[in-house]
Homo-oligomer: A and B are copies of this chain.
Amino acid sequence: MVKQDRAVRTRQAILAAAAKVFEDRGYQAATITEILATANVTKGALYFHFESKEHLAQGVLAEQDQRLVVPARHSKVQEVVDTVALHAHRLQTDPMVRAGVRLSLDQQATELDRSGPFLRWSEIVLGLLEEARGELLPHVVPSETADVLVGSFAGVQAMSQIISGYQDLDRRVSQLLRHILPNVVLASVLATVDLSAGRGAAVYEEASRAATAPERAVLTAG
Contacts and interface: CB of A to CB of B under 8 A. Distances in A.
A175 interface: yes
A88 B154 CA distance: 17
A151 B155 contact: yes
Contact of A158 (B29, B155, B176, B184): B155
Contacts of A114: 162
A162 B101 CA distance: 13
Contacts of A104: 162
Nearest to A108: B26
Interface residues of A, number: 39
A75 interface: no
Contacts of A156: 148, 151-152, 154-155
Contacts of A26: 26, 28, 107-108
A45 interface: no
Contact of A183 (B151, B159, B180): B180
Contacts of A105: 105, 107, 158
A1 B162 CA distance: 40
A145 B25 CA distance: 34
B118 A163 contact: yes
A134 interface: no
A135 interface: no
A149 B214 CA distance: 42
Nearest to A113: B162
Interface string A91-110: 00000000000101111100
15 contacts: A25-B108, A102-B107, A106-B107, A114-B162, A118-B159, A144-B175, A147-B175, A148-B176, A151-B152, A151-B155, A152-B155, A153-B155, A154-B156, A179-B183, A180-B180
Interface of A: 25-26, 28-29, 102, 104-108, 114-115, 118-119, 144-145, 147-148, 150-160, 162-163, 172, 175-176, 179-180, 182-184
Given A28-B29, A29-B108, A151-B160, 12 more contacts: A26-B26, A26-B28, A26-B108, A118-B163, A144-B179, A148-B152, A148-B175, A148-B179, A151-B156, A152-B176, A155-B157, A182-B182
